[in-house]
Amino acid sequence: MSFFQLRLKSEKFKKKLKIGKKVGKICKKFKVKFLINDDVHLAKKLNADGCHLGQNDMSIHEARKLIGNKIIGVTCHNSIKFAKVALKNKADYLAFGAFFSTRTKKTKYKPSLNILKKVRKITKTPIVAIGGINSDNYKKLLLNKANLLAISGYIWKNKKLKPFEAIKKLK
């Protein structure tokens, strides 16, 4: 299954809404699940398939009140403790990272590959690996029990490959 997460940190709500409507249509056309990063209200307004919550965003419980039975994923950084809390609150996926250096955002947390195996032992909930993922390192994450990969910079900021070419190298 494929997902697209709209991550527009510095845009105003109105602009996010305009972009989100267009991206949502494209996702629907190609049967890609459409998630909104950090903004449950935007996810509701766009009728997105779900949202991704950071540790400083609203709780899963509050998000569920707003968007109902949609996909809600949670950032766990490099913490089993955060993962256990997210699982207790019925998160649909757990996201860990940044596993590798990335220019997409500043990262304080760098989990080891071993955290993926440890989390897999306590849950069947999908695990997403984030951060600096490219065609040279993605297999390591999959071999260590990540179910999904969040790949941004390699696709959108690649100086050598256009987005479609970058994606093809990952298959």
Domain spans, the chain:
3-169
Task: Give residue-wise pLDDT tens across range 17-74.
Answer: 999 999 999 999 999 999 999 999 999 999 999 999 999 999 999 999 999 999 999 9
- The predicted pLDDT at position 102 comes to 73
- The predicted pLDDT at position 101 comes to 82
User: Which of 148, 89, 152, 155 shows the shortest CA–CA distance to 120?
Assistant: 148
Which CATH number is 3-169's, of 3.40.50.300, 3.40.50.150, 3.30.460.20, 3.20.20.70? 3.20.20.70
Q: Say if residue 77's pLDDT is above 80.
A: yes
- The predicted pLDDT at position 104 comes to 63
Task: Give residue-wise pLDDT tens across range 49-62.
Answer: 999 999 999 999 99
Confidence (pTM): 0.92
| Beta carbons within 8 Å of 39's beta carbon, 6+ residues apart | 13, 16, 51
- The predicted pLDDT at position 108 comes to 74
What the block records as the tokens of 62 is 């509050």
Which residues make beta-bridge pairs with 37? 52
Task: Give residue-wise pLDDT tens across range 98-145.
Answer: 999 876 666 777 899 999 999 999 999 999 999 999 999 999 999 999
- The predicted pLDDT at position 9 comes to 84
- The predicted pLDDT at position 31 comes to 96
Give the Cα separation of 164 and 156 in Å (integer). Answer: 10
- The predicted pLDDT at position 168 comes to 92
Give the Cα separation of 11 and 14 in Å (integer). Answer: 8
DSSP string across 93-160: EEEEE--S--SSS--S----THHHHHHHHH--S-EEEESS--TTTHHHHHHTT-SEEE--HHHHS-SS
Q: Tell me how crowded residue 64 is: count the other CB atoms within 10 A of its CB.
A: 16
Angle at 34 between CA 110 and CA 52, to 5 degrees: 35
- The predicted pLDDT at position 1 comes to 74
